[in-house]
Structure 1
């Protein structure tokens, strides 16, 4: 695919991979029972796709393909899952693939109800359509007046053949026979909007949830109210009944509480407060199981088990992400498999890029953890710390003491966290002499050894603390390091230099040990944030004028300046090798700057402004978080697995908008072959045998073929067997082979001429090798390609034998030796196979005194029986 600056895809470097940390939305979940596997599965909506979990282990079974818009409601039967998006809904098979799509509504669909081989859909204009699932045809359409009867809920009562019960926002209910298209009965209701309908375990009995917080247990056969319950938490969002022998009903509320009611004693038996931090989207008791499945808009899916004596549910399993937008994300460790993320919900969590089972939550920060444990406070909201705004982590000493330091919104003290124990740490780091409430911690860093934390305050003070003991180890400057608020602190990899940036526009370099100021420099604008790449000593500064300055902390000079962002720069990240600086800004763009060339090499836009960006230590993924989004979005680095042309982008380059990746790893995007045009920039490079006329090219032969040619006598002496060779056991048959590096079968020559002469040809008795024959041919036609290729295919011993046989004493001739030297000359003239030619020539010219005599037990290379094969005198006439 073309990766140039014209007509290329939106990003040349990064492709959307998948989203992390998304588990549930405000759409009610769907529970299904697989009769073949005899297991329950729960399906939750996540944006444009849905997840299916095995209830037994709450493991992710499948992720559906994404749909064009956000899913607005879901339903399911035994075979298919139905998801509506806009005015269209689709049927998914195997929890993944769309097999049917139903189009016909003019308004957004908000209710779905499977009905045998049919499915009922209702839109916000109260138009009800019954579809045949497999033919995708309309069976029936009903239109209701929104001002009189606006459908809010739908239910198919058990044993009521071909009948559906509709609830309205006006409060009345209607029972319809959809086969005969007749209104059977109208229930006047309770003059309050109906929000939930649920079939009770008893036939003819329906639970009706109302806007007033009432739950009415009603017999629809006799139109009689059996009992009423009320909860004071607002409208009823969902209702479910236990079917395992306990007459208990659960009702959800918009504030996250669940009420449990005993239907025999007609009383409230328990309250599950703060089951979710937001509204209960859906709750379902599993059939004949003491398990309750709940999900909510707080991005959590939970399973509660009722095994206690009081009938209260305790949390059994859960899948949970952040319930509020993220404030900071950073890769943790060097393996590139964990991402630490802080959120406005006050939690610090770790998400694995490998598998969800490695996710873990470090929990909420508590002001006084011991007091909470001692008093057993149920409501810990009053003692929770505000959201984390910035944090720094180092895994060097994580097994010994806390390795994470975090500053909180509006707080002076910084908290420590322990990654291994997944909990808040032992210390709150703050200066003892400061008691004012208007001073807050604004910047933190932790040294690469994990021993010290450096904290910058809004007053301009920069303090150093010991992470093991929490003791204050000094401050930079006499009174304060900066006149303005500290915008960034960084410590180099050897704990020798500390860099601080202040809002007054000063960048200062300090000696880390004695806290003495080394250098101070003025910046063109006030810094917004600062980032140091410790391995290369490169410091990135994002300024308030939307520009980026890059400094070398060794020379303390600005080496690069980048401008182009049209909004506040929120975050920056370096690639692991320090070649790229990636910046994310409020103009919804993510830009990649090449530091060696000082150019912008990649830019793409997003539909939501990126707040954070961090790159994996292994360089395989870029992770981002965005405004009003709860997930972490991974982008794969295309340059690791594809050839990418990193040309500078022109000044008038207009980036295109890229959609955020979904939770499915592979998006099903069909690319036609016609849309892929070959690029002139990205032609596959095939190296020629000779690169340039002025260059010398080496051969591609392995070193074992030529490097040991001059040491064969030593090798043979070492390899000489200590015992005489044994006669091999005779085999019943054998296939003759030709000796060589590549074994070949010898084909017996067949005599096809019966009248062949019996006279022996004396030329055959000369026993010249193929190499000698090729050299003789080279004297005539001056072509040595065949001879060179023959030598390349031989091993060191074969090459030695061939060169030894060139001597007249060994069966050769002076002409053949001259031809060999001409062959070497040809190899050197064309500047190819240089090292091979040198090795062949060195072996040919090897002096006699370097060889062992026959009496010493080793064979000679260029002579036999003590006779030396001298090269011919090329200056004498033949």
Structure 2
């Protein structure tokens, strides 16, 4: 249920591979040995202190201090069937058997006068394999203190041992140089070797119980599962998980779905990491001058390996047809192509023809880009030369400039989305625009400083330029003018990335900050410190993650874009803003998660609520859909059009329906009480029943509060609104007072200048329905004349504002044209 892992002098217990459920603190030095032991776990530190912990209570059960001079603990093992007992190996060569329940030393084994590096239980009871620093493996019976067999490896100390338990008497042993030896225990001889199983020392190995599977891992950041199903007893890789064995130098998202990140590392490999699941990760391998010769020589003796990749570009278009990735190598003139589909190095090596036989030491490729169609690669050299190559055939298709494009080294190349323009940046401080097909120079811009690198956002035509003086400029490639300049970094700018919509430019620097610049406002909107400078950045094409790699770190870190799922106020940061240190994403104890920072940001980012009325003179419309008020004057026409040609036929057996009150909000009619005497006389009181709207209008005559009747009217549909307004007249069961109250409600809406569209619609319908009554009643006529004046004043003011806006808009259009 638990996985134990130590970091420095602290021991953690993980559940479900991600949640820290227990922390054991008590060691004064770094822990280097662990041994789970039933309800307890045993840990040994480099100061030779052994502590037995109770797993659940996190308390020390026992602590034993050993003298380093006589017995420095170097290996721990719990022998099978030995209750409460552990076997300890030492750097002095002797072994000790302890009962940790009674804290007694049961037996001391004299050993072989060589340091013990590892101990492993054999499938047979009482038998233990002891690995020594000399490369010897001793299979020993600890019950009788007798040596059963002895083996020797020539690759240095034994780092790990494991036994097969599926019926084959085989023992595997690991070495510091990455080789694995398989020994036949029946014939007591070497069965076979698995060379270069890992590029570094084998750190651990374990046969799966009852199966021909061996799991190994090493310091090369790889874990591999080997299956033994072939002739000769040797194993082949069944599956593996691996990262870079040296820190990544450049990362970029591949494709538009935001699920693959291409990463080049100092170990010379190019790898693809999936943001969905590790099973989709794949390695494209190491760059090599001659792939066949490299395979024959092996990893250790490979003189054909290419230097690490410094810059690369990829494109998904035509990736199933030919190579889709082109890469520059450190201090190397030849650029290599890579095939993402085949997960291997490509067929072509791109370099100028005059250097095909000899490779100069002082000339090397510095920048590369690939067109959006995937057909051409553009490569810039340290001499200032820029060449174009065909990705399908690898043929040289021309160069820019007579001899070279720039006087200084090329610091960046970029091709626009339509293959019309190519932009090059030189170390002499010039940005040049060239026609892609004709290779003609179109425009030259002089920069304030020498550029460090450029990045083009193809969709919006925005070019980001990082300078050697730690500033950043943003250039519009349409107008060819600098539109934004940012300064604030205090170290070399390592990398830049644009958000998918081109609104943000995110930069990382050697001052350990990662800054987000908002291009429309020209302000810094986010800045945070990391404990190790970010070497490379890449923003997901879907905008959900920012990926980063850091100095002396093997991992790629994903940062979530909080603006996608929570309210984030993107206000400019003040000039004296001090960025806070942000810990990189990792596994941490659940109870110790620091939420203070999130609370502070939530307090700062108060949601803006629009007021009901924007200004004293401005008019506010309602938020109701047009269908609720726009057709009020045309209801009779609509009803006439919707009238069926034939009268509806009554079904033979009508289903039962619970009667409801008509309206937008369905409500059931209360059941009527059954009366014993059924009268045939119609009760006129039921027909003259007052509606809720009618009652609210009557109450508003005395209180002068018209909010309730207005809200009720807003909740009704067009037909119900007409019924309610018809019922206000005396012949519909209403009265003059209620009609006056309705007109005052309209007057209140015009006074407050809100729901302006509803006031017009309701008043128009009211006048259409009751024009004859209104003209004969002096009280109502007086109220209507007052409303007419209000409407005219409001409309004249609005019309003036409309005219002003239209004039300004017409002027702006003519100026642009």
Q: TM-score range by the shorter chain?
A: 0.7 to 0.9
Alpha-carbon contact 1:171-1:193 (below 8 Å) kept:
yes
Deviation by residue 1:558-605 (Cα, 9 ceiling, x = unmatched): 222222212111101111222221111111111112222222222111
The 3 A distance-change label for structure 1 pair 637 and 734 is closer
The 3 A distance-change label for structure 1 pair 599 and 793 is closer
Q: Which blocks of at least 5 consecutive residues in structure 1 are unaligned? A: 1-78, 753-758, 847-861
Deviation by residue 1:479-518 (Cα, 9 ceiling, x = unmatched): 1001111010111222222111111111111122211112
Alpha-carbon contact 1:807-1:869 (below 8 Å) kept:
no
**Alignment partner, residue 775 of structure 2:** 872
2: CA distance between counterparts of 1:790 and 1:656? 52
**Alignment partner, residue 539 of structure 1:** 463
2: CA distance between counterparts of 1:577 and 1:396? 21
Matches within 5 A, 1:423-438: 423-434=344-355, 435-438=358-361
**Alignment partner, residue 794 of structure 1:** 716
The 3 A distance-change label for structure 1 pair 507 and 797 is same
Superposition deviation, residue 266 in structure 1 = 2.3
2: CA distance between counterparts of 1:714 and 1:304? 81
**Alignment partner, residue 575 of structure 1:** 499
The 3 A distance-change label for structure 1 pair 732 and 123 is closer
Residue aligned with 1:381, SS: coil
Q: 2:179 aligns with which of 257, 271, 280?
A: 257
Q: 2:395 aligns with which of 436, 450, 471?
A: 471
Alpha-carbon contact 2:294-2:305 (below 8 Å) kept:
no
**Alignment partner, residue 650 of structure 2:** 727
Superposition deviation, residue 798 in structure 1 = 2.2
Alpha-carbon contact 2:505-2:519 (below 8 Å) kept:
yes
1: CA distance between counterparts of 2:755 and 2:299? 81
**Alignment partner, residue 739 of structure 1:** 662
| TM-score, normalising length: structure 1 | 0.81
1: CA distance between counterparts of 2:395 and 2:567? 51
Matches within 5 A, 1:340-419: 340-369=262-291, 381-419=302-340
Residue aligned with 1:657, SS: coil
Q: Which blocks of at least 5 consecutive residues in structure 2 are unaligned? A: 676-680, 783-817
Q: 1:522 aligns with which of 446, 464, 470?
A: 446
1: CA distance between counterparts of 2:606 and 2:538? 32
1: CA distance between counterparts of 2:176 and 2:547? 33
Matches within 5 A, 1:46-445: 80-92=2-14, 100-134=22-56, 136-369=58-291, 381-434=302-355, 435-438=358-361, 439-445=363-369
Residue aligned with 1:602, SS: strand
2: CA distance between counterparts of 1:146 and 1:481? 67
The 3 A distance-change label for structure 1 pair 393 and 780 is same
The 3 A distance-change label for structure 1 pair 761 and 786 is farther
| TM-score, normalising length: structure 2 | 0.87
Superposition deviation, residue 264 in structure 1 = 2.3
2: CA distance between counterparts of 1:182 and 1:782? 94
Name the stretch that deviates more: 823-832 or 807-816.
807-816
2: CA distance between counterparts of 1:377 and 1:671? 48
The 3 A distance-change label for structure 1 pair 380 and 495 is farther
Alpha-carbon contact 1:255-1:277 (below 8 Å) kept:
yes
Alpha-carbon contact 2:294-2:303 (below 8 Å) kept:
no
**Alignment partner, residue 630 of structure 2:** 707
**Alignment partner, residue 685 of structure 1:** 608
**Alignment partner, residue 802 of structure 2:** none
Superposition deviation, residue 80 in structure 1 = 4.0
1: CA distance between counterparts of 2:375 and 2:596? 56
Matches within 5 A, 1:547-696: 547-662=471-586, 669-670=592-593, 676=599, 681-696=604-619
Alpha-carbon contact 1:818-1:872 (below 8 Å) kept:
no
Superposition deviation, residue 818 in structure 1 = 6.1
1: CA distance between counterparts of 2:443 and 2:597? 59
2: CA distance between counterparts of 1:379 and 1:303? 22
Name the stretch that deviates more: 246-255 or 103-112.
103-112
1:482 maps to 2:403:
no
1: CA distance between counterparts of 2:192 and 2:286? 26
1: CA distance between counterparts of 2:663 and 2:458? 55
Alpha-carbon contact 1:817-1:871 (below 8 Å) kept:
no
1: CA distance between counterparts of 2:706 and 2:83? 93
2: CA distance between counterparts of 1:873 and 1:501? 85
**Alignment partner, residue 756 of structure 1:** none
Deviation by residue 1:740-790 (Cα, 9 ceiling, x = unmatched): 2212223367799xxxxxx99999876776656665666676554344334
Superposition deviation, residue 193 in structure 1 = 1.5
Superposition deviation, residue 721 in structure 1 = 1.7
2: CA distance between counterparts of 1:217 and 1:776? 103
Name the stretch that deviates more: 116-125 or 724-733.
724-733
The 3 A distance-change label for structure 1 pair 336 and 684 is same
**Alignment partner, residue 370 of structure 2:** 446
Name the stretch that deviates more: 563-572 or 130-139.
130-139
Superposition deviation, residue 821 in structure 1 = 4.6
The 3 A distance-change label for structure 1 pair 678 and 412 is closer
Superposition deviation, residue 190 in structure 1 = 2.9
Alpha-carbon contact 1:804-1:869 (below 8 Å) kept:
no
- Number of corresponding residues: 774
Superposition deviation, residue 203 in structure 1 = 3.2
The 3 A distance-change label for structure 1 pair 354 and 130 is closer
Alpha-carbon contact 1:461-1:480 (below 8 Å) kept:
yes
2: CA distance between counterparts of 1:555 and 1:156? 74
2: CA distance between counterparts of 1:821 and 1:349? 75
Q: 1:506 aligns with which of 422, 426, 430?
A: 430
Residue aligned with 1:310, SS: helix
Superposition deviation, residue 338 in structure 1 = 1.5
Superposition deviation, residue 738 in structure 1 = 1.9
Superposition deviation, residue 200 in structure 1 = 2.1
Superposition deviation, residue 729 in structure 1 = 5.7
Alpha-carbon contact 1:605-1:658 (below 8 Å) kept:
yes
Residue aligned with 1:799, SS: helix
1: CA distance between counterparts of 2:531 and 2:601? 30
**Alignment partner, residue 808 of structure 2:** none
Superposition deviation, residue 806 in structure 1 = 5.7
Residue aligned with 1:686, SS: coil
2: CA distance between counterparts of 1:535 and 1:132? 60
Higher relative contact order (CA 8 A, sep 6+): 1
The 3 A distance-change label for structure 1 pair 812 and 156 is closer
Alpha-carbon contact 1:814-1:872 (below 8 Å) kept:
no
1: CA distance between counterparts of 2:542 and 2:491? 30
2: CA distance between counterparts of 1:699 and 1:555? 43
Residue aligned with 2:231, SS: coil
The 3 A distance-change label for structure 1 pair 830 and 544 is same
**Alignment partner, residue 419 of structure 2:** 495
Residue aligned with 2:279, SS: helix
Alpha-carbon contact 2:162-2:207 (below 8 Å) kept:
yes
2: CA distance between counterparts of 1:411 and 1:180? 66
Superposition deviation, residue 736 in structure 1 = 4.0
2: CA distance between counterparts of 1:367 and 1:468? 19
1:462 maps to 2:386:
yes
The 3 A distance-change label for structure 1 pair 476 and 533 is same
Residue aligned with 1:186, SS: strand
Alpha-carbon contact 1:343-1:387 (below 8 Å) kept:
yes
